[in-house]
């Protein structure tokens, strides 16, 4: 047996995650991913007014709050029979576009970059740029005062770490600039979303913020500033790193995984919903030379609890699931369930979406020899950010024209009251991947609520068929020459942008009530 | 862009400290210089340990939205962030070792985000250990404890669920806890409280729920821009109707008359707007009874909402000009 190494907590992610790897001959031989926190949100929703669901489930995750709200209100829209007016959809999309842009910037600079750069290279900067010299002085000052928290301690840089002083110094400056930029992107979304984090104005039937021209103008002005940063800083940084010093990591395909990809699709670009920013689809066993995309069918989703701290049950569709805690269950190692599509584990997220869309920019990278893995995931995020900027401009124009139409509407007022009975599914794409919420309403209250979230797909444990989850599989073969310095392990895990609080859910352990759902 | 890492400007301090000065009985100028002195005098930056229990990281993200002063200055210049799972470079044993060292030495600012499960420790484990134990150990030698956001203050949403999440004050009973409720925390409340502590080495004056009076002394309702419409009985029923755009959100579940927080004055999103500005009622997220006691949120069907209307009709919530 190889040496067992556990990284717990995995940091710079949202939530509580532990990763254990078995290392043999300097490489990962096996891996286990474990979610270590639960709050019981679905359980506490039972018996509540259904309209509470979008507010509560936003708190699944404080990073990607709004996508939960969206998946939730889409499930509610379906259950209530609400038809969201195009104006309401545009307001939702404008709020959501901002969310993606902020989230991708934050992930690249603040959650991931420190895995790839040797930050102390800043001390060797010899250029003349005034800002960068101020930064150098700052870092040298921190080192001299022996207080470099939170930038240290860190895993030791390895042969893949970027240590070119110019490149590292400007990256660290961009890290700081990006802090302001992600905050501004969130404020932009809040123009229509209400307070952030945790939007307040996205409700069943539409949106509560009646727009005016000034709001759109303000949004566009903020969008201009963010677009400048994305086009002139973020995308060039990802390109410079991905096709430069990190290209060896891209070519070796570090962190590949199962090569199965799935997108539920999201963000309509037109009134009829014909064109989407993210199309839906499934790829089974990627062949980069000939990508075959199948259509997505929600009926093919099942969840396994074999290795979760839940009562034993066969894999079932989320509508039919039961989740009863069993903290002493033998062989279990996580609070995360194991969703499968046609029985297979899937990767969800930006890489999956851009592969399903056969995005030309990503295809260009693949042609250059980049294999799906950590670097491709970062590249896919940057590509998406650009797509979303374009979409946000388009939605601004569409809203301006829609606002002047007689009978302009933002909300379906006729379907705001909960039905006696109803059920609905809400599918969406979170920045980190495919997201689904399911609700059943009875006597105007929530009878059952279920969520299968992106990190459940990616961070899932093994299932009956022994397929590893996507995190686990993507770690296999990763070089870890020094077991005390498993830097590649955290590079791989963070490339998925984990979001663990939302991956963990449960239903009332006291009542042990069996949840029956019927799929229409 | 020079001054990238310069000191937080005097204006920034004014923004945070104006009302603080009044509380201390100092003039603004005196107070600002006192804060500046305190920060300049400490050659080593105050160590901060930030723990995350049953949280969503929303409060961390809210702090990361601070633009005045920018969060980069706060985390790199003013504080020594020893442990914060969402921002620190280290992971695994490196992270745990730093935490252990810092809390052993003591004297740190302890910020806690998220609730603590009481139904079973195993609902929240970090580094293979119950979060509750880590919190107790970290609190022992902390110089000040700040509960950040609704979950860490009074249990928030997890309090209504099967894990029976509670706030810090229910676990750490032998020390005062500064409670910064609202879901998520307002970055001004957090930065302001930390600056206050650094300047005075004491906690700001707290209300009976442990909240700084600085931020939680007035009802949302009393500063609401829609107050006139409440007083006159104009309640929004249709979000599509431009005529109703600024009407009172009571019918849509607003709990402003029962909620102490400075949101209407301070606003959110760098002063851009806040919930009520966007046509969504106040959810009462700063109150100890949140979430359970405020539910249902988006309708006036709750006992609480009915009680608000009964009080209005009985003249117990008088029109503003008569209050």
Question: Taking the domains of chain B in order of start, what are their residue ranges?
Answer: 10-215, 221-322
Determine the average pLDDT of the residues in A437-444: 95
CB contact under 8 A, A52 and B298: yes
For residue A350, give the 3-state DSSP assignment.
helix
CB contact under 8 A, B162 and A510: yes
Task: In whole angstroms, give the CA distance from residue A15 to residue A503.
Answer: 9
Domain membership of residue A515 (yes or no) is no
Domain membership of residue A131 (yes or no) is no
Task: In whole angstroms, give the CA distance from residue A321 to residue A513.
Answer: 11
Residue B8, pLDDT score: 40
Residues of chain A contacting residue B152, judged by C-beta atoms under 8 Å apart: none
Out of B60, B88, B131, whose CB is closest to A150?
A: B88
Q: Top-level CATH class of B221-322? A: few secondary structures
* Residues belonging to chain B: 323
- Nearest residue on chain B to A145, alpha-carbon basis: B44
Out of B61, B86, B127, whose CB is closest to A197?
A: B61
Least confident of A36-50, A357-371, B30-44, B167-181: B30-44
A125-159 pLDDT tens trace: 999 999 999 989 988 888 887 777 777 777 788 88
Domain membership of residue A149 (yes or no) is no
Task: In whole angstroms, give the CA distance from residue A425 to residue A148.
Answer: 48
Domain membership of residue A130 (yes or no) is no
A390 token code pair: 């374009």
Out of A14, A147, A173, whose CB is closest to B86?
A: A14
A225-247 pLDDT tens trace: 999 999 999 999 999 999 888 99
Q: Which of A240, A10, A213, A18 is nearest to A115 (CA)?
A: A10
pTM reported for the whole predicted model? 0.90
Type and span of the H or E element at B15? helix B10-24
Task: In whole angstroms, give the CA distance from residue A508 to residue B170.
Answer: 24
SS (H, E, C) A120-183: HHHHHCCCCCHHHHHHHHHHHHHHHCCCCCCCCCCCCCCCCCECCHHHHHHHHHHHHHHHHHHH
Alpha carbon dihedral A304, A309, A313, A319, in 10-degree steps, equals -60
Domain membership of residue A433 (yes or no) is yes
Domain membership of residue A178 (yes or no) is yes
Provide the annotated active-site residues of B.
56, 59, 151, 183, 221, 224, 248, 254, 263, 275, 282, 285
Residues of chain A contacting residue B184, judged by C-beta atoms under 8 Å apart: 62, 197-198
**Å between A201 CA and nearest CA of chain B:** 5
Determine the average pLDDT of the residues in B109-131: 91
Residues of chain B contacting residue A157, judged by C-beta atoms under 8 Å apart: none
Domain membership of residue A147 (yes or no) is no
Residue B16, pLDDT score: 44
Determine the average pLDDT of the residues in A346-364: 96
8 A C-beta contact, residue B130 and residue B96: no
Residue B35, pLDDT score: 46
Q: Please give the ipTM for the structure prediction.
A: 0.88
Task: In whole angstroms, give the CA distance from residue B262 to residue B170.
Answer: 25
SS (H, E, C) A364-411: HHHHCCCCCCHHHHHHHHHHHHHHHHHHHHHHHHHHHHHHCCCCCCCE
Domain covering B10-215, topology: Rossmann fold (3.40.50)
A282-304 pLDDT tens trace: 999 999 889 999 999 999 999 98
What's the domain count of chain A? 1
B197-215 pLDDT tens trace: 988 999 999 999 999 999 9
Phi and psi (nearest 5°) for B292? Answer: -55, -45
Q: Looking at per-residue confidence, does B230 or A35 come out higher?
A: B230
**Å between B113 CA and nearest CA of chain A:** 11
Residue A385 belongs to a domain with what CATH number? 1.10.645.10
Judged by a CB distance cut-off of 8 A, whether residue B72 touches chain A is yes
Task: In whole angstroms, give the CA distance from residue A61 to residue B56.
Answer: 5
Task: In whole angstroms, give the CA distance from residue A434 to residue A500.
Answer: 14
> Domain limits at A305?
3-118+157-503
Which residues of B, range 293-312, sit inside 8 Å of A by Cβ?
295-299, 301
Residues of chain B contacting residue A18, judged by C-beta atoms under 8 Å apart: 127-128
């Amino acid at each position: 047996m190889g040496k067992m190494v556990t990284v717990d907590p995995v940091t710079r992610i949202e939530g509580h995650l532990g990763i254990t790897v078995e290392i043999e001959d300097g490489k990962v031989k096996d891996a286990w991913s474990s979610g270590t926190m639960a709050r019981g949100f679905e359980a506490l929703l039972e018996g509540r007014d259904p309209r509470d669901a979008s507010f509560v489930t936003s708190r699944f995750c404080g990073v990607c709050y709004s996508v939960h709200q969206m998946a939730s209100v889409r499930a509610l829209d379906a259950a209530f029979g609400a038809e969201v007016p195009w104006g309401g959809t545009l307001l939702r999309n404008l709020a959501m576009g901002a969310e993606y842009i902020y989230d991708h910037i934050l992930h690249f600079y603040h959650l991931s970059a420190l895995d790839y750069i040797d930050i102390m290279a800043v001390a060797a900067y010899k250029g003349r740029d005034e800002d960068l010299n101020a930064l150098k002085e700052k870092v040298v000052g921190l080192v001299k005062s022996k207080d470099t928290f939170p930038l240290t301690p860190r895993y030791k840089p390895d042969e893949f770490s970027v240590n070119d002083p110019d490149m590292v110094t400007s990256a660290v400056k961009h890290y700081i600039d990006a802090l302001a930029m992600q905050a501004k992107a969130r404020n932009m979304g809040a123009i229509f979303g209400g307070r952030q984090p945790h939007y307040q104005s996205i409700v069943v039937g539409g949106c509560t913020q009646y727009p005016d021209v000034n709001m759109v103008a303000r949004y566009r002005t903020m969008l201009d500033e963010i677009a400048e940063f994305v086009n002139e800083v973020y995308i060039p940084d990802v390109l410079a790193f991905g096709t430069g010093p990190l290209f060896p990591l891209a070519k070796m395909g570090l962190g590949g995984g199962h090569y199965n990809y799935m997108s539920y699709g999201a963000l309509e670009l037109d009134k009829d919903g014909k064109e989407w920013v993210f199309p839906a689809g499934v790829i089974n066993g990627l062949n980069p030379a000939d990508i075959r995309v199948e259509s997505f069918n929600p009926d093919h989703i099942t969840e396994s609890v074999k290795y979760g701290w839940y009562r034993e049950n066969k894999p079932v569709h989320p509508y039919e699931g039961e989740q009863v805690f069993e903290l002493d269950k033998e062989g279990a190692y996580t609070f995360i369930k194991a969703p499968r599509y046609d029985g297979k584990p899937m990767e969800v997220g930006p890489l999956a979406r851009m592969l399903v869309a056969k995005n030309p920019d990503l295809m260009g990278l693949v042609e250059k020899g980049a294999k799906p893995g950590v670097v491709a995931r970062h590249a896919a995020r940057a590509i998406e950010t650009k797509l979303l900027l374009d979409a946000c401009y388009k939605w601004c124009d569409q809203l301006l024209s829609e606002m002047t139409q007689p009978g302009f509407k933002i909300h379906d007022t006729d379907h705001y009251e909960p039905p006696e009975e109803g059920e609905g599914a809400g599918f969406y794409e979170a920045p980190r991947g495919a997201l689904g919420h399911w609700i059943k309403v009875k006597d105007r209250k929530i009878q059952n609520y279920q969520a299968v979230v992106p990190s459940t797909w990616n961070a899932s444990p093994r299932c009956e068929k022994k397929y590893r989850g996507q995190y686990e599989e993507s770690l296999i073969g990763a070089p870890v020459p020094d077991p005390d310095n498993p830097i590649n392990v955290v590079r791989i895990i963070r490339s998925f942008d984990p979001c663990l609080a939302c991956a963990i859910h449960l239903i009332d352990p006291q009542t042990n009530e069996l949840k029956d759902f019927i799929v229409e | 862009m020079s001054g990238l890492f310069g000191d937080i400007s005097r204006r920034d301090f004014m923004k945070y400290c104006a009302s603080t000065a009044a509380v201390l009985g100092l003039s603004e100028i005196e107070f600002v210089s006192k804060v500046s002195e305190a920060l300049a005098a400490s050659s080593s930056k105050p160590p901060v340990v930030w723990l995350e229990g049953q949280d969503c990281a929303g409060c961390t993200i809210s702090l990361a939205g601070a633009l005045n002063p920018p969060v980069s200055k706060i985390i790199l210049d003013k504080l020594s962030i020893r442990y914060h799972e969402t921002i620190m470079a280290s992971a695994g044993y490196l992270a745990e070792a730093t935490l252990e060292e810092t809390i052993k030495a003591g004297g740190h600012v302890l910020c806690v985000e998220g609730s603590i499960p009481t139904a079973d420790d195993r609902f929240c484990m970090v580094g293979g250990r119950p979060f509750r134990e880590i919190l107790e150990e970290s609190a022992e030698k902390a110089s000040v404890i700040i509960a950040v956001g609704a979950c860490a203050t009074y249990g928030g949403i997890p309090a209504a669920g099967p894990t029976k999440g509670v706030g810090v004050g229910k676990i750490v009973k032998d020390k005062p806890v500064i409670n910064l409720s609202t879901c998520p925390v307002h970055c001004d409340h957090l930065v302001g409280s930390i600056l206050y502590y650094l300047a005075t080495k004491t906690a700001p004056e707290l209300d009976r729920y442990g909240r700084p009076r600085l931020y939680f002394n007035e009802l949302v309702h009393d500063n609401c821009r829609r107050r006139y419409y409440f007083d006159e009985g104009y309640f929004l029923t249709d979000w599509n109707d431009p005529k109703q755009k600024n009407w009172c959100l009571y019918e849509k579940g607003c709990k402003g008359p029962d909620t102490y927080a400075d949101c209407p004055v301070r606003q959110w999103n760098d002063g851009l707007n806040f919930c009520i500005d966007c046509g969504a009622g106040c959810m009462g997220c700063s109150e100890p009874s949140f979430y359970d006691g405020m539910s249902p949120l988006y309708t006036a069907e709750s006992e609480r909402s009915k009680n608000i209307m009964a009080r209005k009709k009985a003249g117990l919530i008088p029109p503003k000009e008569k209050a």
